[in-house]
């Protein structure tokens, strides 16, 4: 097992990465203020892992409240969030009852937001079951639900007490979900580590084949980078915004198509292609750089072409991005491979090129 620490001005918590961690209740018990937890999961993950985790905790005298939600991004909303509160209140859960997120990014985001709100703040723990959640969304304390006009627009910064990334849980992950998680791994190489980017190019086949050592290294390096960035900028006032590489475009794709049509990582993959194209249009990346980025994203099994919404629709959806300041969309682009920057606005000519070029395909679908 590898343990990383995420250190912030007001808190510090461990990120455990390894095999068989779900069966090690001793990793969880020190983080429970009282012996009562609510395990928040969904209808896909519950049959796989809920009973196993519940039994581990019950063996140590912990009372477990199961909360099983519908699966998918389409359910990341107020109505589903309220199901968590209904279950907590129905079970007389206290302020010190720990909420455990057992699932992917949607479950992690919703559990964290519920914890931030319940009795004005209950502790929570992340046990991510997808690669995307292990490398990105479970770390750093961003919690939210979606709004029809924008993704993750209603939420809070609220840190977990523990992140438990059990690599064995990836064995049941569908192929498409695995690729979606690799999108966020690629993001880290593109935005801040050219050596890691080269490692990904050399090891993509191993990652997609679920080679244990390759997957664990990818999770570790991604978490190291995220922990370092979040440690500098918890509330995304500066450098943390770089972690949104591909996301301004990607969130627009998700909202434009309807949440759940594309997986988040798929939209981010296509969004990173658009970010690379914009960076080339500004004279920062060469054609070879763009081809490298696109080839890696394609090798991960991700879409490299975006839906054709028309420029007005693109701008409408991107206008709801959380990085908008004083009405200006702030894009995360690449000065070079391995170095991301914030770019306030883009020239009209660049936008026209982006949303009418070969990376736009009106027929693309999943």
Low-confidence ranges of the chain (pLDDT < 70): 357-358, 360-366
* SS3 of the chain: CEEEEEECCCCEEEEEEECCHHHCHHHCHHHCCCCEEEEEEECCCHHHHHHHHHHHHHCCCCEEEEEEECCCHHHCCHHHHHHHHHHHHHCCCCCCCEEEEEECHHHHHHHHHHHHHHHHCCCEEEEECCHHHHHHHCCCCEEEEEECCEEEEEEEECCCCEEEEEHHHHHHCCHHHHHHHHHHHHHHHHHHCHHHHHHHHHHHHHHHCCCHHHHHHHHHHHHHHHHHHHHHCCCCCCHHHHHHCCHHHHHHHHHHHCCCCCCHHHHHHHHHHHHHHHHHHCCCCCHHHHHHHHHHHHHCCCCCCECCCCHHHHHHHHCCCCCCECCECEEEEEEECCEEEEEECCCHHHHHHHCCCCCECCCCCC
Residues with catalytic annotation?
120, 142, 184, 226, 236, 240, 244, 247, 251, 264
C-alpha 231/C-alpha 240 separation (Å) is 9
Left (φ > 0), alpha (ψ -120 to 50) or beta: where does 131 sit? alpha
The answer as to CATH 1.20.1090.10 being correct for domain 196-354 is yes
pLDDT at 17: 98
The tens digit of pLDDT for each residue in 332-356 reads 999 999 999 999 999 999 998 898 8
Q: Are the beta carbons of 222 and 188 closer than 8 angstroms?
A: yes
Place of tokens 């020239």: 347
pLDDT at 323: 82
pLDDT at 150: 84
Q: Where do the domains of the chain lie?
A: 2-172, 196-354
Q: Residue 122 corresponds to which tokens in the numbers above?
A: 């209950």
Which residues, in sequence order, are CB contacts of 331 under 8 Å at separation 6+?
248, 275, 278, 323, 342, 343, 344, 345, 346
CATH of domain 2-172: 3.40.50.1970
The tens digit of pLDDT for each residue in 289-300 reads 999 999 999 999
The tens digit of pLDDT for each residue in 66-92 reads 999 999 999 999 999 999 999 999 999
C-alpha 63/C-alpha 126 separation (Å) is 18
């Amino acid at each position: 097992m590898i343990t990383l620490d995420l250190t912030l001005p007001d808190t510090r918590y461990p990120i455990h990465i390894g095999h068989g961690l779900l069966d090690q209740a001793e990793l969880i018990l020190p983080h429970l203020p009282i012996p009562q937890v609510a395990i928040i999961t969904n209808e896909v993950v519950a049959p796989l892992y809920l009973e196993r985790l519940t039994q581990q905790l019950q063996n140590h005298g912990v009372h477990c409240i199961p909360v099983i939600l519908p699966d998918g991004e389409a359910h990341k909303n107020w109505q589903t969030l309220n199901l968590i509160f209904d279950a907590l209140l129905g079970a007389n859960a206290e302020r010190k009852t720990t909420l455990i997120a057992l699932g992917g990014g949607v479950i992690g985001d919703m559990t964290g937001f519920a914890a931030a709100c319940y009795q004005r703040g209950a502790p929570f723990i992340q046990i991510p079951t997808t690669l995307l959640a292990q490398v990105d969304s479970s770390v750093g304390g961003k919690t939210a639900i979606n709004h029809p006009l924008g993704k993750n627009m209603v939420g809070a910064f609220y840190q977990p007490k523990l992140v438990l990334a059990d690599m064995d849980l990836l064995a049941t992950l569908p192929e498409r979900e695995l690729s979606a998680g690799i999108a966020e791994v690629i993001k880290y190489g593109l935005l801040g580590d050219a050596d890691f980017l080269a490692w990904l190019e050399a090891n993509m086949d191993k990652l997609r084949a679920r080679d244990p050592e390759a997957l664990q290294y990818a999770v570790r390096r991604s978490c190291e980078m995220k922990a370092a960035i979040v440690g500098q900028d918890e509330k995304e006032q500066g450098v943390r915004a770089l972690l949104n590489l591909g996301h301004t475009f990607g969130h627009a794709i998700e909202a434009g198509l309807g949440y759940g049509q594309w997986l988040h990582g798929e939209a981010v993959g296509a969004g990173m292609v658009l970010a690379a194209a914009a960076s080339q249009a500004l004279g920062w990346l060469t054609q070879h750089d763009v081809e490298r980025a696109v080839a890696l994203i394609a090798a991960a099994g991700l879409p490299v072409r975006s839906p054709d919404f028309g420029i007005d629709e693109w701008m409408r959806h991107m206008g709801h991005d959380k990085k908008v300041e004083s009405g200006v969309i702030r894009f995360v682009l690449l000065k070079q491979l391995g170095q991301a920057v914030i770019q306030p606005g883009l020239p009209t000519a660049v936008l026209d090129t982006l949303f009418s070029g070969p990376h736009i395909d009106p027929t693309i679908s999943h």
